[in-house]
Structure 1
């Protein structure tokens, strides 16, 4: 996630991941916000509530995605009052996509909407830049996503438990954060089920470090060069 600096175009410096399981969905994001090459916020919360049962993962321009979330939260609140119940996740996702698409020449935001409703259960919708809307069992976006598409494709399976889905999201974020310079900080997860939404924060020192598992060539395992 980035903030605009002068005439510099924003980029999707972020890693966001969503995975479905039997009974709900798990959404996760890193916490780094950059302004150009400068890290302007190390602990940003990129998981935004759109309603009691629907949440958005944000990447791209922080200002743009925050504005979209504010509009959608306003409209879904009115919609919920008219219905007397929480909105359908698909309806919330369509609203996000409509606003994004209608302003595609002005906004730079790649988002994921996930949540639970009685009709569809746990659902995930990808809303990439320009406003396409795609329902998926799992998805990822942001600059860090390029490093973990293959991992998620091979590791995801139908019928996962809640614990397996949470571990998959945590590991995918850790892998992306270890390679992508625009992703970092801590990891935030939210699990959404029939019972509601439960947040979890994984501190930086609790995130796995995968590069330490590989012993550099020409060393004796202590970091000292062997000649």
Structure 2
């Protein structure tokens, strides 16, 4: 494999002590490298506490998201309990296995449930399923810098660095860095400005819900502090 070739979408999921952090770039490109959208949201909500990061053909991944979301909704109504992260991952696996023609589609499922806490599952094309402490599709340095037992802020900064480095190195990744943090009490969805990423910094430019995220100073390597 040519490590210098464009790797397309960059998606990442990591566990931390209490939950998970998911991250993705926002650029969509055609096979010939033409950018058609720089603001796509690749982190899709399935339930209150379960999300997926999607890569590959946008239409196929949207069909997958709708299918899994509907199945989980029916399950929650039938049993009167929130869905398990593992259930969502298995539904993604079954969909991928039955649609092997969608070989370019890769998915990371992440979330929190009361049974096993924060969990990350990788579902590569073809329908395998892997429960992992972290997962990435794209390129970067996760295996060298991830460590067990990270706290929430450290995990968020780690995900921001992974995606922003990929944006800087890979012409097929780009746009904003989006992150989602999920735990028993927290649901925080943030996005970070591209211009700041190019400078080696990151700034929360929108907080949709939940608690604040790390500031530019935290990302630049100074003592982490939270937005007020």
- TM-score bucket of the superposed structures, by smaller chain: 0.7 to 0.9
Matched with 1:224 is none
Matched positions, count: 194
1:88 paired with 2:78, answer: no
Do the aligned residues in 2 keep the contact of 1:174 with 1:209 (CA within 8 Å)? no
CA contact (8 A) 1:64 1:108 kept: no
Aligned 1:135-174 pairs, distance under 5 A? 135-141=131-137, 145-146=138-139, 148=140, 151-174=141-164
Q: TM-score, normalised by structure 2?
A: 0.82
CA distance in 2, matches of 1:87, 1:196: 17
User: Would you say 1:30 and 2:25 are equivalent positions?
Assistant: yes
Change (3 A) 1:178 1:190: same
Q: State the partner residue of 2:217.
A: none
Do the aligned partners of 1:25 and 1:122 also contact (CA within 8 Å) in 2? yes
State the 1:24 CA deviation: 0.2
Q: Is structure 2 residue 124 aligned with structure 1 residue 134?
A: no
- Which of these two proteins has the greater Rg computed from alpha carbons? 1
- Kept after mapping to 1: 8 A contact 2:93/2:129: yes
Q: What is the match of residue 195 of structure 2?
A: 205
Equivalent residue, structure 2, for 1:15? 10
How far did 1:107 drift?
5.2
Segments of structure 1 that go 5 or more residues without pairing to the other structure are 1-10, 211-227
User: What is the deviation of 1:207?
Assistant: 1.3
Q: Which residue of 2 aligns with 1:40?
A: 36
The CA distance in 1 between the partners of 2:196 and 2:87, in whole Å, is 36
If the length of structure 1 is used for normalisation, what is the TM-score? Answer: 0.82
Give structure 2 stretches of 5+ with no counterpart.
1-5, 201-228
SS at match of 2:9: coil
Residue 206 of structure 2 corresponds to none
Structure 1 residues 126-172: Cα deviation after superposition (integer angstroms, max 9, x where no partner)? 0111111000000101xxx23x1xx2112111111000000000001
Query: What is the match of residue 170 of structure 2?
Result: 180
Deviation at 1:39, TM superposition (A): 0.7
